[in-house]
Amino acid sequence: MAEASAALLYPKTCAATFSCRQCRHSAQVVFHDPDAFAEDEPIGGRSRWMQEAAMEQALRKLHDKSKKALSLVPCPKCGGIDEPARRQAYLRAALPLLAVVPVMLPTLTMLFGVVAVANRVQAALLALAVTGALATLVVLWGQRRLVGDARRSVRFS
């Protein structure tokens, strides 16, 4: 009975298997959730059943995360990287920009048209240049963070 009343805590780590596509090396790793809070966080829910369901979902999410992170980590044996997986992850990092650019571009164009002495065409070109530069910076930053997070969160045993 005492066991049943103990609070379930959100999982922060999970075991996973790294396998290299290039040299077929495989290793057991521990994945640490980079988004987990430092303190233990109890799973809420009115009944034990609901808590267990939430726990299962959290574990599944953690497992998906570990899979994504593992694909961004270089092989400890041959140093190889799963290029298609990395490209895919980079693309995911860039996707949020698709929502921002259509808003940012006309806003900047208007702003430059008002603030700068530029005419409409110049303002539009300036806005395009600034949007392009910012987008590139954000994408590069996002990619660096993605790879950095992945490498920090995977521990080879």
**Looking at 7, 9, 15, 78, which residue binds Zn ion (CB under 5 A)?**
78
Closest separation in Å from C-beta 98 to Zn ion: 34
Closest separation in Å from C-beta 81 to Zn ion: 9
Residues 24-43 that bind Zn ion (CB under 5 A): 25
> Phi, psi at residue 109, to the nearest 5°?
-60, -45
Pick 76 or 106: Cβ nearer Zn ion: 76
Query: Strands 13-19 and 154-156: what pairing?
Result: unpaired
21 in contact with Zn ion (CB under 5 A): no
Pick 71 or 109: Cβ nearer Zn ion: 71
75 in contact with Zn ion (CB under 5 A): yes
Pick 78 or 137: Cβ nearer Zn ion: 78
Pick 25 or 86: Cβ nearer Zn ion: 25
Residues in the chain: 157
63 in contact with Zn ion (CB under 5 A): no
